[in-house]
Structure 1
Amino acid sequence: MMYVTPLSVLLALALCLIVAWFLKRPMSARARRNASGQFVQLQDGIIHYEWHGPATGPVLVMVHGLTTPSFVWRDQLPALTQAGYRVLTFDHFGRGFSDRPYARYDMAFYMREMDQLLDTLGVRAGYDLLGYSMGGGLPRNMVRCGETVFAN
């Protein structure tokens, strides 16, 4: 039988706090130095994004889930760009190379993030959205979404 001592609980708590501190530390220019893509300043911080495919193709915005960064789309990009899509991938705040602002990460926060990103990049109505997990829920809440929405 295994016994839990107060010291082991205290050590586990300290380890959790250390891990949480590392996960919330700000993204730095040094960390972004070798990132592909570009960065844009929004109201809540800097967002990492990348365009793929032909400049004149129909725009497809790919929205990743809550716990993963945008690189999860890399295996789908070749087929989509070969089909002629101009694909936008980006890292949500708190993921990948984007900032980790101190904020309440709720649906309103992510909707503001998407609206500001698309406005700043000049993405107008008529684009398509592809999302999964939490990223699939964002299109259902968008009032200015494109013609087709794919989500699970």
Structure 2
Amino acid sequence: MRGFTEWNSNERDDSSSFAVTLEGHADNNNESETQLPLANVARIMRKIVPPNAKLSQEARETVQESATEFISFVTSEAAAKCLKEDRKTINGDDICWALENVGLNNYAAASRRYLQKYRDDELQRLAASQGCPADEEYLRLRLFEGNKETSRDR
């Protein structure tokens, strides 16, 4: 399987995504430092296969490399978008946009649902820690838009 840098330099016209994604890592020749941890990949794989199934070292390493390539690819798309918008932080919406941009609409839709659920859960957690009621509109106004007065406050 060819590496991310090889794909990017041979098939992309916009080399800025390469520079943003690998900034600070260009001199890193140790491939194990840029791969997902093999133990984590194997643990995820074991959750999917039947309990008595065996996973070869080759299978684990292939999935490790593929998952790392996938993450690098999507992140480079999101980083290029942030670079064009003069932003330094990639957020969840950027990742969802990148998934759509590369044609992975099903993954983008699932990621957007997960991202919304995550944000809703964070909102509830924050409200509970501040002793606020759990009404979503009230929380958004009070916690994310400042201390604007609502009809409930009057």
The structure having more radius of gyration, on CA atoms, is: 2
**Which has the bigger relative contact order, CA under 8 A and spacing at least 6?**
1
TM-score, length of structure 2 as denominator length: 0.29
- Give TM-score, length-normalised by structure 1: 0.29
Greater helix percent: which structure? 2
